[in-house]
Structure 1
Amino acid sequence: LMERYFSRWASETGLGVQTLVELGHTPGEPPDSPFNMAVMGMRLSWFRNGVSRSHGETSRAMFGRLWPGLPTAEVPIGHVTNGVHPGTWLAPEMSELFVERLGHDTATGGTDWSGAGLITDHELRDACDTARATLVEVARQRLRSGALDAGRSPSELAWTDQALDPSTTTICFARRMATHKRAALLLEQPDRLRELLLDGSRPVQFVFAGKAHTDDDEGKEMVRRLVAFASEPALRHRFVFLADYDMALARAMVQGADVWLNTPMHPLEASGTSGMKAALNGALNLSVLDGWWAEAFDAGSGPNGVPNGWAIAAPAAGTQPGSRDQARLDSNTLFELIENQVLPLAAEERRHRDSTGGDDRSSPWWNRVRHSLATLGPVVDAHRMSAAYDSDMYRPAAALSRALAAQDNSGARALSEFLGHIRADWDSLRVAAVDVDERDGDLGSRRRVVASVEPGRMRPGEIEVQLLVGHIGAGGELEEPTVTPMSPHGSPEPDRDGIVRYEGDAVLSVPGRMGLTVRAVPRHELLSTPLEPGLVAWAD
């Protein structure tokens, strides 16, 4: 297949079809293995990233075999967490509040969100009440039109005029109905959900929406289960599934939700953005600690001790994604959070509204919303994302491209020759010995480290010798080591024994057991990182 469709392109680039095929294989794979587009993309890119911190970690573990000499943590795949465009998703009422209180139009990328703390309970309540009422009206219209399209008579649809309540705490879930999104997690305990919905002492309602891919049978089954549950006459005024999910409906839901629900299988959520859109509109996130929420949830670590949402903890290491046991555990955690934290806080807000009128900033619910806006606003803004891509990837890549193309592509030819040389001769390099000043030292003190390096066929200036210092983990590995270049001790040319000595200082920067090691990596001004070729010589 590759020969059929890519032989001409391979010939024009001078690669040859076999070399092209190898670009899509990981080291050690048989020649007839399927061609992997992601692997080819990794091999041909200067910069690579996941779309959240956890996605970057997962990607480094998945593709680490392309850089077999590196610890997983140093595989050259970074991350830029996704963001959303505030101007597209903000309710008009919230946008006006932000202009007044933040002093800038969030649609243009303001970075200072501290003014969110100045918004009063009354202002937030009015904005969110308006958006929730709009969502209820949209939902009723869609329920009615969907039923009419399905052949129901108007006389059967009087109930749609009473579906949902514009003054009731509203929990929303809307996204692609893929299996790993677990839209039906609440239905793991249907009787418990029915009891919750029918308990008048703690009013709550749910709005679900989404579409499954036409070839995703499991996703379509999730939709079927949700629709069946939402069709029960006793529940349909408090639990609705809205068909024909589109951008207009998505906008109404992220603007009108009080709580945004996200329940993916960990670690299969790359980022997720629907909760970001909802957060900008004053909704509180209730989500599995995966994707963007794993780095954005603060667990109440801020100065006021109020968390910026709620979290379902990630499963223990080694847990199989999608296991029934994990689904039951996460379902139970979800119900406990709703029953014991979300709804009591909502009930307190109703009492607070009745007793104060809401002209101050004392409601626990709105305190949490203010904290959510202040902490998440600058994080979820797509302007932050775009700036990170620009500074961390696009500009460095453009500079490298110009350097490679300069003087009739002389830089590209020089880099190609260098890579060919080091790949052929790297095994001749050896970090033969490391000598460390063993005297006891206090925290913050330094120890001299001298490494004896046999460069073999590598020339001076073609390698960088690095000192790694860090805390020793349970498995004996260095955890998050600091990496410092070492300098030649004397001449960079080998002595009569073929050795060049490098020296550096190990700083005892953290308490506890510390360790160090030395390694050599390639050095060339046109490498995006010394780790790019995946060639490392570790100390014996």
Structure 2
Amino acid sequence: MDANKLHPYPINPKYSKRVAYFSMEYAIDQALKTYSGGLGFLAGSHMHSAYDLKQNVIGIGILWKFGYYDQVRNADNSMGVLFQEKIYSFLEDSGIMVPVYINKHQVYVKALYLPPHVFGTAPLFFLTTDIPENDYLAQTITYKLYDADTAARIAQNIVLGIGGAKVIEALGGAEIYHMNEAHALPLIFHLYNQLGQSSDAIRQKLVFTTHTPEKAGNEEHDIFLLDKMGFFGSLSLDEARAITGENGQMFNHSLVALRFAKVANGVSQLHGRVSREMWKNYVGVCEIKAITNSQNSTYWSDKAMNEALADGDDDRLKHRKKHLKKRLIQLIADQTGKMFDKDAIIIVWARRFAEYKRADLIKRDITRFNKLISQTDKKVQIVWAGKPYPSDYNAISLFNHLVQSSKHLPNCAVLTGYELGLSSLLKKGADVWLNTPRRPREASGTSGMSAAMNGAVNLTISDGWIPEFARHGENAFVLPIADTRQPIDQQDNFDNQNLMDMLENDILPLYYDKPDQWFEIVKNSMRDVMPYFDSARMADEYYELYNQ
């Protein structure tokens, strides 16, 4: 492929340094199933804004034959997991195919090209091993995002890191390699040989974004298994130990990324502080800054709502919000057979289903919850949505509990298929966007940004991006901060009590009895989320990071 044709737009001189951006997932468009959650949503918005700003960025990802999974319903409405083949006619053959070695077997990696004009992104290359040149086992490497099999996950890292690096070299190379999380870590061992076996040379080229303080998000694997799989490229195990400083049996991917990056960043100011505290006692860790995540407003925000807000036309803004709310109500009816009331408040909890995000926090005091949803004077309607990891049976059990317990509640609904399309519809139709993680475990929480862009008021724990945005009672409602020294159940009780108090004493009286005041909060939220939490700011800040 002609490298000069990669960017069919003139590069802005401010962003001329070529950056190769490695991410295991990208949420680009509903039609392209290459993501699971927030990591992909962030990468997708980044690629959209890189295009808008005409940056010299190339995205490297993996083409997942079966996506993450399709979330479906079983006969009893419990959650089902469907792996269905995805076919994309809009991807082009780049003509680039490179070899990698996995478990001492040569595996060919083919790069498919997503041209910028298709979805309005920087050029993206999606890697696949599902080609006739490979045997069946090698073909399956790129079947499922975050495969539950450990060896498959390691193989995916090798494909992304080493395969992706070789694709970039075939395209003329890059000045900066940006790892969006540590999944592409084998990249550094490839660069080590390419750059004269100099760790310092790698540090001049590598930038790392860490996304979570959660242990599950900072992978560790048996170093002997990694060596056997070919994770370290052509380096011996002793050489890998020597340059990474990992001398035990377990190899920490994030720690090694922090040791090889010239600079790293957390994804909110609070997460930056948490990350610095988390890694401060480890030797050789680079400086960890913070670039707060954001979302691409061109993609996420409703144009008609924004125009009405800019024109100061309250009636038009209200009418548009009501219309979007009706569209959500139609979908709820289609999926669940429940007809929500367009004039009653709709509260939405929707995000990746992880235990610490506490989807069921609002139900913790079941007596109080039942009283809340049975009242008729200030009617409350609640929607849940989210996709648990398909092997996280605790999360699936919680999802199914919400389905079964709300089955006969006419104003509670659990929706399936939480991808970009449903996410957008929920944000545009919600009155309140509920966010209930255990602080400080939510690194960013970007869904609340795009919700605010669409007139949904955040009701939230003070975590992630929220401390940088929220003015309690003016553009959001923020719960008091729990004492993290207390046992988990006491923190949950504290947060539940404050959540219910805030709903009953602040939000519902405002929404129903003082609608003009409520509408001012809606408008403040829409105004205040822009422009800082638009990804143009974020993409610009990343280039500042690259140039340090």
- Of 333, 345, 349, which residue of structure 2 is paired with 1:140? 333
For 2:232 and 2:315, the matched residues in 1 are separated by 67
For 2:232 and 2:350, the matched residues in 1 are separated by 45
Q: Please tell me the residue identity of whatever aligns with 1:238.
A: N
> Which is higher, the Rg of structure 1 or of structure 2?
1
- Of 55, 66, 81, which residue of structure 1 is paired with 2:271? 55
- Of 20, 36, 39, which residue of structure 1 is paired with 2:252? 36
Aligned residue for 1:84? 295
For 1:65 and 1:171, the matched residues in 2 are separated by 42
Aligned residue for 1:375? 528
For 2:357 and 2:500, the matched residues in 1 are separated by 17
For 1:181 and 1:191, the matched residues in 2 are separated by 22
Shift of 1:238: 0.8
CA contact (8 A) 1:270 1:291 kept: yes
Cα-to-partner distance string for 1:304-350 (whole Å, 9 max, x where unaligned):
xx521011222225345xx1111111111111111110100001245
- Of 305, 330, 338, which residue of structure 2 is paired with 1:94? 305
Counterparts in 2 of 1:404-483, with a 5 A limit? Answer: none
CA contact (8 A) 2:262 2:287 kept: no
Aligned residue for 1:394? 546
For 2:328 and 2:412, the matched residues in 1 are separated by 14
* Closer, same or farther: CA 314–23 of 1 in aligned 2, 3 Å: farther
Q: Please tell me the residue identity of whatever aligns with 2:450.
A: K
For 2:361 and 2:547, the matched residues in 1 are separated by 43
* Long gaps (5+) in structure 2: 1-223
SS in 2 for 1:388: helix
SS in 2 for 1:125: helix
Shift of 1:7: 8.7
For 2:231 and 2:316, the matched residues in 1 are separated by 64
Aligned residue for 2:478? 311
Give yes or no for the alignment of 1:339 onto 2:532: no
- Of 170, 185, 199, which residue of structure 1 is paired with 2:361? 185
For 1:56 and 1:202, the matched residues in 2 are separated by 40
Give yes or no for the alignment of 1:228 onto 2:404: yes
CA contact (8 A) 1:308 1:372 kept: yes
Comparing 169-178 with 244-253, greater Cα deviation is found at 244-253
Aligned residue for 1:9? 233
Cα-to-partner distance string for 1:49-96 (whole Å, 9 max, x where unaligned):
10011111111111112358x9xxxx7211111111112222242143
SS in 2 for 1:49: strand
CA contact (8 A) 1:10 1:20 kept: no
CA contact (8 A) 2:265 2:288 kept: yes
* Closer, same or farther: CA 8–337 of 1 in aligned 2, 3 Å: closer
* Closer, same or farther: CA 44–340 of 1 in aligned 2, 3 Å: same
For 1:21 and 1:97, the matched residues in 2 are separated by 59
CA contact (8 A) 2:291 2:542 kept: yes
For 2:243 and 2:453, the matched residues in 1 are separated by 42
Shift of 1:25: 4.6
Aligned residue for 1:326? 491
* Closer, same or farther: CA 257–3 of 1 in aligned 2, 3 Å: closer
For 2:335 and 2:484, the matched residues in 1 are separated by 42
- Of 7, 17, 20, which residue of structure 1 is paired with 2:240? 20
Shift of 1:244: 2.5
Q: Please tell me the residue identity of whatever aligns with 2:354.
A: A
For 1:231 and 1:191, the matched residues in 2 are separated by 17
Q: Please tell me the residue identity of whatever aligns with 2:406.
A: A
SS in 1 for 2:384: strand
Q: Please tell me the residue identity of whatever aligns with 2:546.
A: Y
CA contact (8 A) 2:232 2:240 kept: no
* Closer, same or farther: CA 229–93 of 1 in aligned 2, 3 Å: farther
* Closer, same or farther: CA 367–65 of 1 in aligned 2, 3 Å: same
Give yes or no for the alignment of 1:238 onto 2:411: yes
For 1:44 and 1:220, the matched residues in 2 are separated by 37
Aligned residue for 1:281? 454
Q: Please tell me the residue identity of whatever aligns with 1:209.
A: A
Q: Please tell me the residue identity of whatever aligns with 1:346.
A: Y
Aligned residue for 2:113? none
CA RMSD of aligned residues (A): 2.1
SS in 2 for 1:380: coil
Q: Please tell me the residue identity of whatever aligns with 2:364.
A: E
Q: Please tell me the residue identity of whatever aligns with 2:469.
A: A
Counterparts in 2 of 1:470-509, with a 5 A limit? Answer: none
Aligned residue for 2:41? none
Q: Please tell me the residue identity of whatever aligns with 1:9.
A: G
CA contact (8 A) 1:83 1:385 kept: yes
SS in 2 for 1:9: coil
Shift of 1:123: 2.9
TM-score by length of 1: 0.57
CA contact (8 A) 1:23 1:40 kept: no
Counterparts in 2 of 1:508-527, with a 5 A limit? Answer: none
State the percentage of identical aligned residues. 29
Aligned residue for 1:290? 463
For 1:139 and 1:95, the matched residues in 2 are separated by 25
Give yes or no for the alignment of 1:169 onto 2:393: no
Give yes or no for the alignment of 1:348 onto 2:513: yes
Aligned residue for 1:385? 538
Shift of 1:20: 1.9
Shift of 1:189: 1.4
For 2:510 and 2:465, the matched residues in 1 are separated by 25
Shift of 1:229: 1.9
For 1:336 and 1:6, the matched residues in 2 are separated by 55
Cα-to-partner distance string for 1:472-521 (whole Å, 9 max, x where unaligned):
xxxxxxxxxxxxxxxxxxxxxxxxxxxxxxxxxxxxxxxxxxxxxxxxxx
CA contact (8 A) 1:24 1:38 kept: no
For 1:55 and 1:79, the matched residues in 2 are separated by 7
CA contact (8 A) 2:297 2:534 kept: yes
Q: Please tell me the residue identity of whatever aligns with 1:387.
A: D
* Closer, same or farther: CA 7–249 of 1 in aligned 2, 3 Å: closer
CA contact (8 A) 1:312 1:330 kept: yes
* Closer, same or farther: CA 324–226 of 1 in aligned 2, 3 Å: same
Give yes or no for the alignment of 1:196 onto 2:372: yes
Shift of 1:210: 1.0
